[in-house]
Structure 1
Amino acid sequence: MGKTTIIDKIAYDWAVGSVALGHFTLLFVLQMSALNQTSDLVDSVFDQLLSDDTKVNKCDLEAFIKNNGSSVLILVDGLDEFRTTNLDQEKYGPILRMLNQKVCRECFVIVTTRPSQFAILKSNSLLTTSFIHVKLLGFSKKDIEKYARNVFTARRDMAEGLLDRIQSSNVLSDLARSPMLLLLMCIFWRENATLPDTLSRLFSEAIRHVFRTKMPELSEEAISEVVIAIGKVALEGLVSPEQRLSFQEGEFEKSTLDKAIQAGILTSQRVTKGLDTLQFTHKTLQEYCAAMYCQSLLSKGGGEFQTILAKIGHPWNFEYMLRFCCSDNQQCTRHILGMLHKKAIDPTVKELALNCYFESQSRDLLSVDFIESFFIESMMISEFSNYSLNSLVWFLKHVAEHTEPVGHLAKVRSITFIDCDLSSSSEILALGLTSMKNLRDLHSQGINLSDSAKDWAFQLGGIQFLEALRLGTRAASSHSVIPLKKLTLRYSNIDSPDLKYIVKSVSSMGNLVDCEFGRVPKVLRVQPFDNGIRLSISKFSLTGGDMADILRPFSNRSDLVSLILRDIDGLGGSADIWIPILQHLTHLKELRLTNCPLQSTDIEHLAAAVSQMFPVQSLSFEGNRSSRGSAKALAPSFK
Structure 2
Amino acid sequence: MAEHDGQHQTPTEGSHFEALWKLAGELGNSWKPIARSLGYSEAKIENLILDYPTSAHERAYQMLLRWKNTTDQTACNEQLCRAVQKQERLDLIPLIVNVTRSGPSPGGVSGSAELNKQYFIKKLKNFVRLKMSKLPLVPWITTECINVDQVFANVQLLISIMDAYFPIKLPLQSYNAIFTDMIREDEGLIDFCGARILMRGRTGSGKTTLLTKYAYDWAMGKPEALLHNYDVVLFLPMRKLDQHSNLGQAVRDHMLPSERRITPAAVEQYCEDHPEEVVILLDGYDEFKGKGLDQADCGNIVKMLRGEWLTECRVVVTTRPGRVDDFKDDYESYRHLEITGFTATDIDDYVHKVFKKENTPLGNKLLAYLEENHLKEGLACIPLMLTAFCQLTKWTDGQDFKYLNTISKLFDRLIECMFDHAKLKTSRDVGFSGPDELVLELGKVALKGFLGGVSEELHFCEEDFTCCSDKKNVIEQGLLIGLLTRDADSRIRPQTLEELQLEGRTESHRGDISFILKSIQEKCAGKYLAHLLETGDEDSFTNYLQKVDNDQRVLDFTNILVFACAASMEASGRIVSHVINLLKETQGKNISLYLSGQLNFKFCQKTQRLLETCLQLNFESKSEGQFNHLFNSLFGVSGCVRLVEMSSYVAKALGYLFAHAFQCKLCREPEDRCVLSVRSLQLICIKLDSSTQFREFLNCYPGTEEAISEFMRKSVSQRDLVSVRKKLETSERKIPSYLDSRDDLTFSAVAPIWQEMSQQEMQDFSLGLVLSGLEESSLDELVLNGVRADRKDWDVLFKMIQNDVFAQMTRLTLSLNDLTCDQSAQLATALTATPNLKYLKMAGNELGEGFVKNLPPMLNLENIILDKSNMASKAMVEFTQKLDGYPCLRKLDLRRNENTNDQVIQSICDNMRKTWKELRLSLYEVSEGGLQNLQTSIGVSDGLTHLDLVHSPIPDKVIQYFASALSSLPQLVDLRISGIPSSTSQEGSPCTEQTVEAFTTEMHKLQHLKFLSFLYTKMFPKDFIKMLNCCQKHTSLKTFRFSRPYLPSGPDVETECKEAEAKFLQLWV
TM tier relative to shorter chain: 0.5 to 0.7
Query: Which of 340, 358, 362 is 1:135 aligned to?
Result: 340
Amino acid at match of 2:566: S
1:570-618 CA distance string (max 9 Å, x none): xxxxxxxxxxxxxxxxxxx9889xxxxxxxxxxxxxxxxxxxxxxxxxx
The equivalent residue for 2:679 is 410
Query: Which of 267, 281, 290 is 2:516 aligned to?
Result: 281
Query: Which of 193, 199, 202 is 2:410 aligned to?
Result: 202
Query: Which of 443, 446, 460 is 1:246 aligned to?
Result: 460
The equivalent residue for 2:543 is 307
**3-state SS of the aligned residue for 1:286?**
helix
Moved more, 228-237 or 52-61: 52-61
Q: Which runs of 5+ in 2 are unaligned?
A: 1-152, 154-202, 219-223, 492-507, 588-605, 663-671, 685-699, 702-756, 802-808, 829-838, 856-863, 871-891, 909-921, 927-950, 955-982, 986-1069
Larger Rg: 2
The equivalent residue for 1:8 is 209
**3-state SS of the aligned residue for 1:267?**
strand
**3-state SS of the aligned residue for 1:562?**
coil
Query: Which of 562, 565, 587 is 1:326 aligned to?
Result: 565
> Per-residue deviation at 1:99?
11
Moved more, 407-416 or 348-357: 407-416
| TM-score, scaled relative to structure 2 | 0.38
1:299-328 CA distance string (max 9 Å, x none): 222321111223457244434333322224
The equivalent residue for 2:812 is 466
The equivalent residue for 1:617 is none
**For residues 353 and 105 of structure 1, what CA distance do their matches in structure 2 show?**
50
> Per-residue deviation at 1:202?
2.1
The equivalent residue for 2:481 is 263
> Per-residue deviation at 1:207?
2.0
Q: What are the within-5 Å matches in structure 2 for residues 343-354 of structure 1? A: 343=583, 345=587, 347=607, 348-354=609-615
Q: Structure 1 pair 257/184, CA: closer, same or farther in 2 (3 Å)?
A: same
Kept in 2, the 8 Å contact 1:412–1:436? The answer is no
Kept in 2, the 8 Å contact 1:23–1:71? The answer is no
The equivalent residue for 1:233 is 445
Q: Structure 1 pair 555/181, CA: closer, same or farther in 2 (3 Å)?
A: farther
Amino acid at match of 1:368: H
Q: What are the within-5 Å matches in structure 2 for residues 4-403 of structure 1? A: 5-17=206-218, 18-21=224-227, 46=250, 55-56=263-264, 77=284, 113=320, 131=336, 135-137=340-342, 139-140=344-345, 142-143=348-349, 146=352, 149-150=355-356, 153-154=357-358, 178-190=385-397, 195-215=403-423, 221-239=433-451, 240-242=453-455, 243-248=457-462, 251=466, 253-270=471-488, 277-301=512-536, 302-312=538-548, 314-341=553-580, 342-343=582-583, 345=587, 347=607, 348-366=609-627, 368-370=629-631, 372-373=633-634, 381=643, 389-403=647-661
Q: What are the within-5 Å matches in structure 2 for residues 398-547 of structure 1? A: 398-403=656-661, 407-410=676-679, 420-428=760-768, 431=771, 437-439=779-781, 452=789, 465-467=811-813, 469=815, 480=824, 484-485=840-841, 487=843, 511-515=864-868, 533=895, 535-536=897-898
Kept in 1, the 8 Å contact 2:230–2:279? The answer is yes
**For residues 143 and 353 of structure 1, what CA distance do their matches in structure 2 show?**
35
Kept in 2, the 8 Å contact 1:30–1:75? The answer is yes
> Per-residue deviation at 1:533?
4.8
Amino acid at match of 2:812: L
**3-state SS of the aligned residue for 1:466?**
strand
The equivalent residue for 2:917 is none
Kept in 2, the 8 Å contact 1:430–1:460? The answer is no
Moved more, 366-375 or 297-306: 366-375
**For residues 533 and 516 of structure 1, what CA distance do their matches in structure 2 show?**
9
**3-state SS of the aligned residue for 1:234?**
helix
> Per-residue deviation at 1:219?
8.8
> Per-residue deviation at 1:56?
4.6
Kept in 2, the 8 Å contact 1:532–1:561? The answer is no
**3-state SS of the aligned residue for 2:812?**
coil
> Per-residue deviation at 1:425?
1.0
1:400-453 CA distance string (max 9 Å, x none): 233369943215679659654442415336747976834476667xxxx7x759
**3-state SS of the aligned residue for 1:514?**
coil
Q: Structure 1 pair 291/411, CA: closer, same or farther in 2 (3 Å)?
A: same
Moved more, 395-404 or 39-48: 39-48
> Per-residue deviation at 1:297?
1.5
1:260-297 CA distance string (max 9 Å, x none): 23223333314799958333333332332233322321
**For residues 376 and 337 of structure 2, what CA distance do their matches in structure 1 show?**
30
Q: Structure 1 pair 455/191, CA: closer, same or farther in 2 (3 Å)?
A: closer
**For residues 185 and 220 of structure 1, what CA distance do their matches in structure 2 show?**
21
**3-state SS of the aligned residue for 2:647?**
helix
Counting matched residue pairs gives: 508
Kept in 1, the 8 Å contact 2:624–2:660? The answer is no
| TM-score, scaled relative to structure 1 | 0.58
**For residues 426 and 330 of structure 1, what CA distance do their matches in structure 2 show?**
28
Amino acid at match of 1:136: G
**For residues 424 and 372 of structure 1, what CA distance do their matches in structure 2 show?**
29
**3-state SS of the aligned residue for 2:341?**
coil
**3-state SS of the aligned residue for 1:279?**
strand
Q: Structure 1 pair 391/104, CA: closer, same or farther in 2 (3 Å)?
A: farther
**For residues 622 and 392 of structure 1, what CA distance do their matches in structure 2 show?**
46
> Per-residue deviation at 1:143?
4.1
**For residues 186 and 299 of structure 1, what CA distance do their matches in structure 2 show?**
33
Q: Structure 1 pair 171/62, CA: closer, same or farther in 2 (3 Å)?
A: same
Q: Structure 1 pair 244/200, CA: closer, same or farther in 2 (3 Å)?
A: same
**For residues 244 and 26 of structure 1, what CA distance do their matches in structure 2 show?**
33
Kept in 2, the 8 Å contact 1:97–1:103? The answer is yes
**For residues 424 and 132 of structure 1, what CA distance do their matches in structure 2 show?**
30
The equivalent residue for 2:1045 is none
Using the aligned pairs only, state the percent identity. 16
C-alpha RMSD over aligned residues: 6.2
**For residues 369 and 361 of structure 1, what CA distance do their matches in structure 2 show?**
15
**3-state SS of the aligned residue for 2:679?**
helix
